Amino acid sequence: MLLVVNPPERVVNALTAAQTFDNLTPNQTIGSITGNTMLTATAPLPGQQAYVVDVTGNINLNGTGNDLILSGAAGTQFVLNVGGDITLNGGNNFSGGDIVLAGGLSPDDVVINVTSTTNGDNVTAAGGSSPDPSQPGNTLPNAFIDGILLDVAGRVGFSPGAVYGEIIGGGDEIRLVSGSEVVNSNNTTESTVPEPATLLLLGSGLGFAARMGKRQKQAPNRR
């Protein structure tokens, strides 16, 4: 386990980034997401760099056939602001209960900005693990998120779950147990939080983050 404790200016950067994303004018606003949903990025609004979707309620994806799919051309910048909680319960063999990317998006291009200030866990994942299709003998969590998970207020609890990208989190704890992991997009083990490739608004020093157990793994390819 690698725990990064960043200096105060990086904490300020993370808070500023979260507020900046939350204040962007959305291309699309929806309520809660409770079933299989695809959100496809088109052109950003004038004066903005990213395609922005505001989810005013919760994201609750439970098992087989229920994914949130974020789609866009390669290099598209996608911001998903979530006003409620994210609850993922993965189905066997990665069959649902995930936030996945399509159409050329990479995890470095996507920020999932959780703006909820409720007590307790803002982001949770469960649902067991399945065999890793690329590494026989290993397993991967069935519930996973592709992208940069930014949650400066609440807690994150995976039992198990995975983020293929980064976690930048605040609150009072990030719990990754029962085989949970965070794997950054280029499979490196830096002790700093790198700037995402195209999300220029994040700046260069972002993060008070827990970056855990980055191994040579990729998100399961189910598409």
Q: What is the pLDDT of residues 2-33, one digit of tens each?
A: 444 455 666 777 888 888 899 999 999 999 99
pLDDT of residue 187: 54
Report the distance separating Cα 108 and Cα 57, nearest Å: 25
Candidates 147, 156, 190; CA nearest to 175 is 156
Largest CA distance in the chain: 49
User: Domain residues for 157?
Assistant: 2-44+55-211
pLDDT tops 80 at residue 192? no
- The SS3 of residue 67 is strand
Report the distance separating Cα 205 and Cα 11, nearest Å: 9
Report the distance separating Cα 161 and Cα 158, nearest Å: 5
The answer as to whether 193 is a domain residue is: yes
The answer as to whether 88 is a domain residue is: yes
Tokens 């602001």, located at residue: 81
All residues at 6 or more sequence positions from 126 whose CB lies less than 8 Å from its CB, including other chains: 88, 89, 90, 143, 158, 159, 160, 161
Q: Per the confidence metrics, is the pTM higher than 0.75?
A: yes
Mean pLDDT of 51-57: 97
The answer as to whether 78 is a domain residue is: yes
Number of separate domains in the chain: 1
What are the CA-CA distances from residue 116 to residues 125, 204, 206 (Å)? 17, 25, 20
Please write the tens of the pLDDT for every residue from 95-117: 999 999 999 999 989 999 999 98
The answer as to whether 36 is a domain residue is: yes
Res. 189 pLDDT band, cuts 50 70 90 = very low
The answer as to whether 173 is a domain residue is: yes
Please write the tens of the pLDDT for every residue from 150-171: 998 878 999 999 999 988 887 7
The answer as to whether 218 is a domain residue is: no
Mean pLDDT taken over the chain: 82
The answer as to whether 50 is a domain residue is: no
The answer as to whether 220 is a domain residue is: no
